[in-house]
Amino acid sequence: MKDILKAKFMREMCATASNMYRLGWDERNGGNISYMLEEREVAEYLDTEKALREIPVMGVNSVEADLSPLEGRIFLVTGTGKYFKNVEKDPAVNLGIVKIGKGGKSVRLLWGFEDGGRPTSEFPAHMMSHIARLKVDPENRVIMHSHPTYTLAMNFVHELDEKSFTHTLWEMCTECIVVFPEGVGVLPWMLCGTSEIGAATARKMEEFRLVVWAMHGIYGAGKTLDETFGLIETVEKAAQIYMLTAHLPRKNTIKDEDMLKLLQLFGVKNYRKDFLDLK
C-alpha cells in the first residue's frame, strides 16, 4: 500500500485547513470539511473493507440522522473538537476517513482519529447537504463550513433576506455574479449540531451552493476543495468590501444591467433572474 499521507487528497485537505485557519475563518475548533472520495483512489492506500471501529452518526446533541442514500460512500472528514491549525502537522489525529455503514446509521472508521476521536459534530448536516447536492450535481464532492469574519459581521448589519443579501454581495465585486450566479441562501439563527439545521441546510443546498447560517458562519459546496474554498473566499471578499464601505455615502455601484452584460459575456445562464432588478 502507498503512504496515505502523500495522497493528493490528503495533501489538499491539509493545505485547505491550514489556509482557512490562516485567514481567520476557523478559530479554535470552528469549522469543518467533508470530502467524498472514490473507493478506487482510497484503495491505493487502505483496505476499504477493514474497519478500525464503528462510530454512530450523531450531532452534538446525539440526534441520529438517516444517511442511507450515502451507504458505502467514503469521506475524508475533520474531527469534532479538532483545531484546523493542527491538521497539517498531525493529520492522523485531526482527520479521519470513514465509510458510511449499512442503513446509514453509523460510519466505519478506515483511518485516522488516532486519539479515539470521531467526525465533526456537524457530520449529519454535512451528509444531508451531500445528499442534496448530489441530486443537483453528481460531481459534487465537498461540503465546507467556516466562520469568515466579514461575512459574519455583515449578518449583524444587513437584512437577512436572500435576494437583498445576494444582491449586495453581487454589487461589491465584478466577479461575484459570475462566481455564484445562483446567489446565496440564508437561514435564520438555529441551534447547531442538530438534524433540524442539517435538514434546513440541505433544502437550501437544492438551490444554492452557498448557505449562510445567520450569526454563525457559511456552508459551501463544490466539486473540489479549491472550488468550494473559492466560493467562500469570494463571498468573504465581497462582505469585507461591504463592511469597509457600508458607513460611507456610496457614489458608485455595479448596475444590474451591467451584471447582465457580465453574465452574457461569460455565457452564464443558470442565474437568479429574480434577484436582479431589471427594467
Over pLDDT 70: what percentage of the chain? Answer: 97
Closest CA to 35 of 133, 116, 102, 105: 133
The amino acid sitting at 151 is T
Query: pLDDT value at position 58?
Result: 67
**pTM summary value:** 0.94
Summarised one tens digit per residue, pLDDT across range 74-85 is 999 999 999 999
Structure-block grid coordinates of residue 164: 437583498
Summarised one tens digit per residue, pLDDT across range 83-118 is 999 999 999 999 999 999 988 888 999 999 999 999
> Where does the pLDDT of residue 13 fall: very low under 50, low under 70, confident under 90, or very high at 90 and above?
very high
What are the residues whose beta carbons fall under 8 Å from the beta carbon of 152, sequence distance 6 or more? 215, 216, 217
Q: Give the active site residues.
A: 122
> Where does the pLDDT of residue 193 fall: very low under 50, low under 70, confident under 90, or very high at 90 and above?
confident
Residue holding cell 450515502?
A: 70
| H or E element that contains 99 | strand 95-100
Check if the beta carbon of residue 80 is closer than 8 Å to that of residue 70: no
> Where does the pLDDT of residue 60 fall: very low under 50, low under 70, confident under 90, or very high at 90 and above?
very low
Distance between the two ends of the chain, CA-based, in angstroms? Answer: 62
Closest CA to 95 of 70, 120, 74: 120
Structure-block grid coordinates of residue 63: 440526534
Closest CA to 123 of 176, 45, 44, 55: 55
Check if the beta carbon of residue 186 is closer than 8 Å to that of residue 162: yes
Given a cut of 70, whether residue 61 has pLDDT beyond it is no
> What integer best gives the mean pLDDT of the chain?
94
Domains of the chain: 4-275 (3.40.225.10)
Given a cut of 60, whether residue 59 has pLDDT beyond it is no
To 5 degrees, how large is the angle CA 8–CA 12–CA 15?
A: 140
Query: pLDDT value at position 62?
Result: 46
| H or E element that contains 219 | strand 217-222
